[in-house]
Structure 1
Amino acid sequence: MHPFPIQRRRFAIGAAVAAAAVACPALRAQGKLEKSSISMAVGGKAAFYYLPLTISEQLGYFKAEGLEVEISDFAGGARALQAVLGGSADVCSGAFEHTINLQSKGQFFQSFVLQGRAPQIAIGISNKTLPDFKSLADLKGRRIGVSAPGSSTNMVANLVLSRAGIQPGDVSFIGVGTSAGALTALRSGQIDAMSNTDPVMTMLEQKGDVRIIADTRTLKGTQDVFGGAMPAACLYAPLEFIRKNPNTTQALANAIVHGLKWLQTAGPGDIIKTVPESYLLGDRALYLASFSKIREAISPNGLVPEEGPKTALKALSSFDATVKADRIDLAKLYTNEFALRAGEKFKA
């Protein structure tokens, strides 16, 4: 491959970092942390959706930045968000689209480092309770499992159903989490379909428990469902927190980007050694099969793609009447300043 495109990319990133330093003088040189103890909320930490967070935590990258991060795990992203809104957590590791929902209600939160560039969510139909499934219309009146009502798994389900004319009220959404409880809910017949993340969905798929009908675990699948790049897991916080704590925010972004850099070259054995044993759900081979499937969905550098927020807004506004596209300021949803500087530090 000719070297010039790479050189141009490096120049572009360097220029962007310089521009960020001008726009935000506090980022020119990272000074003393305004806040060294951080409480973080996450919804379903064992899912691959949040693998970069787990890697950064397990490998000590937060501590390397001078941070003590206490992570509270909830059943889904919507519940994690409630912890931040309620003041019991400073930062949320959650889905990018929550920043849109919040802004539509007059609450300004901002994503400052991306973990996933695809939602990594698949929708599967239970072969036990719906063996004769033919179309989405068959889901009317049925029970659909999601990590938690209002979470990104719920959002993807709403989007796919809306294209078949099915409204959220036409089905029953049931929170099942993102780990062993989700497997049990589907296999026992408590739900008829499920919108969830890996490793859960790959495990159900490979054991013949579900038939996948929509899949955003790959970049191509994400393009098929959303029509463009869709930013997924990220660290986001109230805009006021970011403005008051730029050095702390930078340290958090550094830790995540450090984890993303490690993931670029990590092998299956490295992943198994690093994540907690409970995350494997009792099947190492299937866990690694799941990792292979979603690997390209992990962000390589923590940057939100320029077209991503537009894709997310278009998706949300297509089925949620409370989200008015013309009233959302896309520029306030995210900043790449912190991830750019972290990328310079770790050559990500």
Structure 2
Amino acid sequence: MKRRDFLMAGGSLAALAALSARLPAFAQGTAAAIEKPSLTLGVGGKPLLYYLPLTIAERQGFFEEEGLTVAINDFGGGAKSLQALVGGSVDVVTGAYEHTLRMQHRGQDIRAVADLGRFPGITIAVRSALKDEIKTIADLKGRAMGVTAPGSSTALMLQYALVKAGLKPDDVSLVGIGGGTSAVAAVKRGEIAGLSHLDPVTSRLEVDGDIVPLIDTRTEEGTRELFGGTNPAATVYLRHDFVEANPVTTQRIVNAFLKSLAWLQTATPDQVADSVPEDYLFGDREFYKTAFEKARPMYSPDGVITEDGFQSMLSMLKTLEPDEFGSADLTFAQTFDPRFVAAAKG
């Protein structure tokens, strides 16, 4: 080889090496070491079907298959798990996509790396005893409504529905009722006029005849009716500095969740009921199976958040909170990092 050719080849190799160094570790080979194999994950209401992909990843051993040990902290609502991430007590969160937009607007670089739910799966309903008094969202003015926790996605959607109905977000009192049996009990005791909540809580109350739905976003039709388009729901999100420092770990997290989503696409209701803890069934296995089938369409088939979904979410925030988000200049890329889903899909 001539000296000139040798130098050119060497320069090309050096350029390739420099490019490789800038790539995430997961793109440099499957043998890369996991930087942080033991993780703490935050969630707000784990028994909810909204977060079923997390429970499946845990119970089917998908985290372990990816070399991860995941300790799960279940908080009273999504806003609390977000606070834990910001405060550093958890490494990763399964929570509402809306939180990434909110935190980016506040200057905190938190991004989703996988979508779990393409529809919110939230139902706004009133107690059956009040169905003749409360027939529309506008009729909720002055009432107390249950949500998983103030500041959570269930609260946000209720407030958005209020604004679209010509009311103000604070025209209804929000009462945090948690995400499990406590929520069911709050309705049955008559402590609230109704609730904005998720399955299996809402299905349990429907089956028992305790509530009448006003808005239902468990389906694409119901979601488009309220939002005018798709509206990403549960996601996996992290601080971006964690992602950059731990790309292999992040990839393994995403791999586990995509395995869970794929499993849910073909699982039978019996397989799902066999996989979740016994107390998730509300003492009624057949009911849980029915609730899962009703919720199945909301799970993402591929983990991808679309720009259409981002625009829908941003529009909702601008409508609901014009003082804060009216002039927000956010980009899709700030809220979703698609590299890990793309790599997991090969």
Per the normalisation by structure 2, the TM-score is: 0.90
Q: Does 1:141 align with 2:161?
A: no
- In 2, distance between residues paired with 1:340 and 1:182? 38
CA-to-aligned-CA distance 1:166-202 (integer Å, 9 cap, x gap): 1122111000111100011011111101000001111
Aligned to 2:114: 113
Kindly provide the CA deviation profile for residues 38-86 of structure 1, in whole angstroms up to 9, marking residues without a partner as x.
1110000000101111000001111111111110001110011111111
CA distance in 2, matches of 1:24, 1:192: 53
CA contact (8 A) 1:314 1:325 kept: no
Counterparts of 1:227-246 in structure 2 under 5 Å?
227-246=228-247
Q: Does 1:323 find its partner at 2:325?
A: yes
Check conservation: 1:104, 1:324, Cα contact below 8 A. no
Structure 1 equivalent of residue 304 of structure 2: 303
1:68-217 equivalent positions in 2, closer than 5 A? 68-129=69-130, 131-217=132-218
Q: Report the CA distance shift for 1:141/1:106 in structure 2 as closer, same or farther (over 3 A).
A: same
Query: Post-superposition shift, 1:316?
Result: 1.4
Q: How many corresponding residue pairs?
A: 324
Measure, in 2, the Cα distance between the counterparts of 1:178 and 1:62.
24
Q: 8 Å contact 1:146–1:173 — kept in the other structure? A: yes
Match for residue 251 of structure 2?
A: 250
Q: 1:327 to 1:206 in 2, by over 3 A?
A: same
On the 8 A contact 2:105/2:330 being kept in 1, the answer is: yes
**Letter aligned with residue 255 of structure 1:** A
Partner of 1:26: 25
Contact 1:129 1:189 in 2 (8 A): no
> 1:22 and 1:193 mapped to 2: Cα distance?
55
Whether the 8 Å CA contact 2:137–2:214 is kept in 1: the answer is no
- State the distance in 2 between where 1:25 and 1:241 align: 12
TM-superposed CA distance for 1:325, in Å, is 5.2
Deviations 1:6-45 (Å, cap 9, x if unpaired)?
xxxxxxxxxxxxxxx9984433224111111111100000
Residue in 2 that maps onto 1:64: 65
SS where residue 304 of structure 1 aligns? coil
- State the alpha-carbon separation in 1 of the partners of residues 229 and 319 from structure 2: 15
Alignment partners' CA distance in 1, 2:64 and 2:125: 39
The farther-off stretch of 130-139 and 95-104 is 130-139
Structure 1 gaps, min length 5: 1-20
Larger radius of gyration: 2
Shift of 1:129: 4.3
Deviation larger for 28-37 or 293-302 = 28-37
Q: Is the 8 A contact 2:135 2:214 kept in 1?
A: no
Q: Which AA in structure 1 matches 2:59?
A: Q
2:160 and 2:169 in contact (8 A); partners too: no
- The percentage of counterpart residues that share the same residue type is 42
- The more displaced of 320-329 and 67-76 is 320-329
Q: 1:281 deviation in Å?
A: 1.1
How do residues 258-269 of structure 1 correspond to structure 2 at under 5 angstroms?
A: 258-269=259-270
Distance 1:163 1:36, change over 3 A: same
Provide the C-alpha distance between the structure 1 equivalents of 2:298 and 2:169, rounded to a whole number of angstroms: 27
Question: Could you list the per-position Cα deviations for residues 117-156 of structure 1 after superposition, in whole angstroms to 9, with x for gaps in the alignment?
Answer: 1111000011234542233232111101000000000011
Aligned residue number for residue 273 of structure 1: 274
1 CA distance for matches of 2:223 and 2:242? 31
Runs of 4+ in 1 over 6 A off after TM superposition: none
SS in 1 for 2:253: helix
The more displaced of 270-279 and 159-168 is 159-168
Q: Identify the residue that residue 342 of structure 2 maps to in structure 1.
A: 340
* Cα contact 2:307–2:332 (8 A) shared by 1: no
Partner of 1:223: 224
In the other structure, the counterpart of 2:16 is none
Contact map agreement 1:45 1:73 (CA 8 A) in 2: yes
Could you tell me which residue of structure 2 aligns to residue 8 of structure 1? Answer: none
Deviates more, 1:220-229 or 1:131-140: 131-140
Given that 1:128 and 1:187 are in contact with CA atoms closer than 8 Å, whether structure 2 keeps it comes out as no
Stretches of structure 2 lacking an aligned partner (at least 5 in a row): 1-19
Secondary structure, in 3 states, of the residue corresponding to 2:129? coil
